[in-house]
Amino acid sequence: MHPPSIPSDTTAEKWLRRLFMRGPQNYSLRRYDDEQWDVMFFLQGRVEMILCDVRAGFSKRIMRFFIDGDNHHSNNNVGVVVPPGVAHAIRVEGSEDVIMVYGTSTIFTPEFEGRIASEIETTAFPESWEKFLSL
């Protein structure tokens, strides 16, 4: 049963009751950075993806790779699952539009997403990501 993270000052039963019975519309209580899993598949186009593992208790790791959409049959046709605590960025490679299927394990509420500015789609890596990746 979701959520997988329970605050240390309560029990799972109390937390689930608070989230889903007493405050089901209070999305500010949801611990997206601890709970949300993302999954994505690329149907068309080519993208560059960066994953940066910033989970507590893990060494910081960075992975950069390229994914081909299903319309480009290759060994780079993959689905990607991103666990909570792994920052990720996607940038289109080339001039072809990208069509992707993107799902999350929680209800998507944009204002509760942890975003680094959308400047990531510029030609060079933005300063905010260069700084973030070099920490």
27-65 per-position pLDDT tens digit = 777 777 777 889 999 999 999 999 999 888 889 999 999
Q: Where are the domains of the chain?
A: 35-114
| Burial tier of 69 (Cβ tally within 10 Å: 0-12, 13-18, 19+) | buried
Q: CB–CB of 39/47 below 8 Å?
A: no
Q: What CATH fold (topology level) applies to the domain 35-114?
A: Jelly Rolls (2.60.120)
Closest CA to 31 of 75, 85, 74, 73: 85
Residue 21 or 52, more confident: 52
Tens digit of each residue's pLDDT (9 = 90 or more) over 70-121 = 999 999 999 999 998 898 989 999 999 999 999 988 776 666 666 655 554 5
The rounded distance, in Å, linking the Cα atoms of 5 and 35 is 6
Q: Calculate ∠ Cα 13-38-86, nearest 5°.
A: 90
User: Is pLDDT of 3 > 60?
Assistant: no
pLDDT of residue 21: 82
